[in-house]
Each structure stands twice: as C-alpha cells, then as structure tokens.
Chain A
C-alpha cells in the first residue's frame, strides 16, 4: 500500500468527525425528564427513579426534597443516538427510593442547569401502601419482632425476639442497629439460625434475642427495625438461552423489610419494703460453710450465693447479721451470667472468712434477699437457713490463721487500674553529692584514656632496649662505653703504680672507649688514626686534635717522659671523655 493512499482515508474520517460533532452541536434543545418505575408500591418495596437529561452531557440533576424516602444513587449512563440525520445525546441518572412510611407523596420537580437555563421535570405522585397484605406463608421473606410483655414493671426483664423469615436466596443483608431507648439491654446469645414451618411452609429463620430492662416508668417505644437485603430474582420475561443456562439469568432486587413498632407501657413498682435489693424477677439465696466445727483462731469460709432470673446485674452483697464473736474478712465476689437461655439468669457468690474469737456454739443467722416478683406483683424474700457452728478453745497461744483459705474456690479477678499518677520524687542526698564539671571530666577522661597507651609503649621500648643489649654486641658496646671508660679511669686513678703504666692504661682506656663507641677495634688505633676516625664521625676538629694530642702525651708518659704528670693526664682524659661522649651522642 502506498503511503499517499492513506491520505484520502484520513480526510474522510476527519470529515465524518466534523459532521458528527457538528450535528451534535446542532442537536435538539435540552430537556429533563423524571420517571418512576411504578406509581404504587408497598413500604417493603423500592422504587426506581430515572432522570434523563437530554441535550447536555455535563449537567447534574438536583433532586427535590424526599423526606419520606431514603435515596440511594444507582449510577448513570450516557446514550448517543443518530436518528434521521439528527444527533441526540442524553445522560440517564438512576436512583433507588426506599419508602419510609405509607401515604401518597408528591415527587417534586427534578431540576438542572444547562447553559445558565434552569430546566425542570414534571412532578408526579407516588402511593406507598402498607406492608404486603398477603398471609405470611405466601410471602418469600418477612421480619417479626415481639416482646414477652408490653406492660412490664420498671426493672422487669422483657424478652425481645426479632426474627427474619425467608425462603428465597438473599445476600448482603444489613440490619440497622436496634434502638432501645429507656432500656438496659443484655444480649441473649448470638444470632440463632434454624428452620421452621409456618402454616405448612418451610422458612429459614434468623433470630436475635435480647433481655430488656426498662429503666423508666411510662411509655417507651421500641422503634421498627429495618433490614435491607438483596433478593435473587429470576427474569421470567427473558427467553432462556444457552448462555443463561451456563451463567444464569437471575438478577438481584433490593428489598427493605420492616418490623412493627412496639409500644411498651412501664409500670412503677409498688412501695418497696425495707431492705429491698432492687432485684426484679425470681431469686434464691444459698449459704454454705466450709467447716461446722473449728477451734478459736481457725478460719472457715461462708459462701453466700444469690441466683435467679431477672436483672441479675444488680445483685449486691446481702447483709450479714452482726457476729461479734467472729472476725470477718471479705473477698472479691464471683459473678456468673448465663445468656444462652431463654432469659437472663445468673448468680453472684460472696465469700467471707469467719474467724471465731471465742469458743461456744454459735449460729449464723439467716441471710435474706428481698426482691420484687413481677409474676405475682409482690415483694418476696428469699433467705438461707441458720448455720450452726461449734467453736472449741484453741490449744495454747496459737496464731490466728487469718489468711488460710479465705475462699478456696475463689476465681481470680483481673486487677483493674483505677487511677494513675506520677511516681514520687527521689530523696537520696547522694543525688547532689558532687557537681558535674564537663572540662574536668573531659580532662580526666583524656588522661585515663591516654595513660594506658603511654605505659604500654614505654614498656615496649624498655623491652626492645633490653633485647638489643642482650643480642646486639655493637649496640651494647656503644651504650656502655662511657660508663665503662669512666669506671676504668677511676680505677687507674686509684692505683698506686708508676706513671708509665698509668699512661698506658689511660691511653688504652681512651682508645677502647672510642672503639666501643664507633664499633671499631680501639686498642689498635694510633693517635693519627684516632684523629681521622673522630673527624670522620662528626667530632669537631679541635676535639679530635685534643684527643690526638692527649694520646700522644700519654704514650710519651708510657715511655718515660719526665715532664708529664700522670695524675693531671687522668683528669684531662676524664674531661675529654665527657666532651667526646657529648659530641658522639649528638
């Protein structure tokens, strides 16, 4: 294909686009239409509101106030059509209207603004009827809620049962939170699922049970509960195809179910007697002693258990009669609430350690609990039996076992932090024993850090020095030459010998010193060789000359020159030695 051949095609495409967009711009005037899928429905149904805005794709619809409905947007779609040479575009907005109540409602105009012009749809009416009048067994799904009594006493247990019946497949069920204003609410177990038959029709039921305890006298309302779910609906209008068989042709429909509102009239309690515990329901009290015979100082556990059905959360410690012959120590009570039954039941146990102080036959008097029985509308009292205790005298001065088995079977209770606060200040005076001094501490740190290093290197150099003295003869001769020469001179000076011998020894001492110092055989050096050697090793000419001169004079003394005084020569040699050491060690 030639490259130039595509140009006519591009031109044609561009022309087509121009025509399409030109037509679009010349489309019909904008308008807005709002329609509802049916003019009549029940409160369990939902309505489909469709708003079509033609001629403008950017305009957004503004819905009228729909206080009687919950409104859920369900998306939008855009359509473009080309009919009889005219281009038209429209945007469809879908809304789901869920009625809140029954009645005939006016759906006001839906408005939108297109190019500064406000367009309105036509208003219309919708009738919302009551819940389906069909018998329950003919309905696919419904919910019920009921209470055990609508005329309870304040504090009386009211069992609320909410059930959701269904015989079709549902999904995404959402129950709005149940509201029980004016009641203390206790859950009675988890949601139960079971199957039941209503007039011969089998339903799957989800059941929620709650125990309600009215806290106020007068009229209380348990509002209607509302459950929203998606129901699977088969489209019977569509012809079944092979694809339907494979993928299914069902669609879902949103259903909103409501239970009826329940009105409860709460009665006040009659005038309560003295000692009324506040319990409403049916209660018993039980008492047990761990021992019935004990000695003075020995402890026994009295366990009081109040149990029953009703507002068991309010069970408080029953009052024990005054027992002057005993020391009494309380323990944490144990509570047990059973929520799995048809009503709330439970118990609370109070353990007390009784320590007899005196011997004798004692009686633990009955312990009673006063409660209100709503069945008979009377106050009742439950009481324990008398408990006899035989206390014998202790043998000797036995210590009181006050902590022994206060409550052998007492369950452990988690410690609860009631309040928190900062920990107290320090009072130890060593906190201010010495002020910190950054400069001083830095100096000390420096010294302490460097000192070991210095000591190590000192030890190392001493060791090396010793090693050289032991293993390096030349080094050793060099190091000890001066000391040895001085020692020899000192010995020569102290000897009582003739000047010739003295001169010979002194000369030998000097030459050996120079030989040791310079690593040579010093005894064989002549004065002239010594002069040259000293100059070669950096000794000044004057000192080298003096050394030569002194050696010559010592040799002269050795061979009997009368003018030479031996003692004077030794002093000169000693001085020369010092000067030579100074220059050779430079």
Chain B
C-alpha cells in the first residue's frame, strides 16, 4: 500500500474522529437544552419527590438509575404518566439515554397528551435503535394523531435500500463497526508485512478499505449533511416570514409535525414544508432531534 494511500487514510481517520466527537457532543448538548426547555412541563415537585431524591444535576449511579427507572415504570403502569415522564426525563438528563428509556418516555408523554414531545422521543429512540419494530409501531401510531397533512421527512425506498447500512445502523453501531473494520484492516496490513506476496491479503485489505471508507463516509454524512429534525410541540404554532415576533405569519403548524431545519438564528429556526414553503418558528416551540 503506497505512502500516499496511508496518509489519506490517516487524514480520513482524523476527519472521522472530528465527526464522531462533534456529533456526540452536539447531540448531548442539544438534548440537554431540550430537556431544560421541557422542564417546565414536568409534573409538580411533589410528584417528582416520590422518585429517589437526588439533586437534579448530580450524577446518578447505575443502581439509583435503576431505581428511578423502576419507579417510573410503576408510575406508568398506574397511569401516573406525568410522573413517569418526569422519571424518564431525569434518566435521560443524567446520561441514561438508551433507546429504550426514550421509548418509555415517548409512551409516557403520548399518554399524557404531549404528542409533539412524544414523537420527538420516539424519533430519538429510533435513532438509537433503528431496527426496533416496537419503536416504529409506536411512532407510526403517534403520527396518526398529528393534524397537519405533512408526510414526515423520511428517506425514499430507493435510498434506504441502496444505502441500507446508513439508515439501518445507529450512530453508535456505525462507530463500533468502523472501529472493528479499522482494527481488522490494519491487522491485515500488518500480516502483509510478514507475507507480502499473498494475493489473499491484498484482496482482503482492498475489501476492508472499501468497507472502512463506506462506514467512515456514513459517519461523515451524518455529521455534516444530515439536518436536524424539528418536531412541533404546542397544539398550534405560527411560522413567520422572518425571525421576528411581529413579522407576517405565513402558515400555521400543529403538534407532532416533523420538519427539516434549514437554518438557525438565535431563538429562531427556519423550517421547510415538503412543497418548499419555508417559515421561521421560535425555537421554544420546537424539539430538535438529531440522527
């Protein structure tokens, strides 16, 4: 393998590192912001107080997190959906943001009547577990309750078939796959140092290189090309012609509608409808979901 190829690979690795690091930090930061926003919808303090009493910003130990999880599940089963949602939200805020916790949060929010936030939670759950049929079923169920006749922004059948790994694997799975292929690739190259003339090693390293580039490209596309999804939270929200409160209202959207974010300004987000019509919505009415 030439020195130039190896230099290119190293460059790609650096870029991927950048993508992975930024993406993880960005998602974490965005979800933290969203959760802080949604705190105003938490049930009254006395309800939350029944859950294990830890300071909101402290770090939950796995044992305590399990207790919060079980109590939230019990609250859900008893029909105390607001309390259950508060428990799941605490877990998410403390970093226990597994797809299943997001799924449970989506269920609790949906039962509590918060359609927009429920859909956002299901979307986050789907991002973490893209092949989970339960998540898909509940997301589809929640989407039936949306008012706007706007199809959610989903990839086409052709795209999702051609680039199945890109859509069927979560960000974490892509990263782990990349690490595994990277390890095998360099190990095969090292074997090539011992047996340089083996044809099998050449072919294997070539195929692994293709796989490595494919997975790295997927991660890079997620990082640089995927726009976040905006989910409308209130029952009705106005989309303005400009990012100002007094500007003309172009159209109205309703809870649970999913749109692609085209642009962001302080306090505002520009979203587009499937027919290309665009409008500015105050970010306090939106939940952002990253892939």
Contacts and interface: CB of A to CB of B under 8 A. Distances in A.
Interface in A422-470: 422-429, 431-439, 441-442, 445-446, 448-450, 452-453, 455-456, 459-460, 463
Nearest to A421: B141
Contacts of A453: 9-10, 13, 182, 186
Contacts of B68: 432
Contact of B95 (A437, A448, A449, A459): A437
A434 B172 CA distance: 15
Contacts of A432: 62, 65-66, 68-69, 91, 96, 98, 101
Contacts of A431: 69, 96, 98, 100-101, 104
From B95, B110, B186, name the one whose CB has the most chain A CB atoms within 10 angstroms: B186
B190 A434 contact: no
A427 B84 CA distance: 13
A420 interface: yes
A442 B141 CA distance: 35
Nearest to A433: B62
Contact of A459 (B25, B76, B101, B193): B193
Interface residue SS majority, chain B: helix
A420 B21 contact: no
Contact of B182 (A433, A435, A449): A449
B28 interface: yes
B107 interface: yes
B138 interface: yes
Contacts of B16: 449
A455 B142 CA distance: 50
B65 A455 contact: no
B95 A455 contact: no
A450 B59 CA distance: 30
A449 B141 contact: no
Contacts of A445: 17, 20-21, 175, 179
Nearest to B16: A449
B70 interface: yes
Nearest to A457: B6
A410 B232 CA distance: 50
A422 B190 contact: no
Nearest to B104: A425
A438 B24 contact: yes
A191 B182 CA distance: 71
B193 to A, nearest CB: 5
A423 B134 contact: yes
Contacts of B28: 436, 438
A428 B17 contact: no
B59 A435 contact: yes
A151 to B, nearest CB: 49
A249 B193 CA distance: 95
Contact of B100 (A428, A449, A456): A428
16 contacts: A423-B134, A423-B138, A425-B76, A435-B60, A435-B65, A435-B94, A436-B95, A436-B97, A437-B95, A438-B28, A442-B24, A446-B21, A449-B13, A453-B9, A453-B13, A459-B193
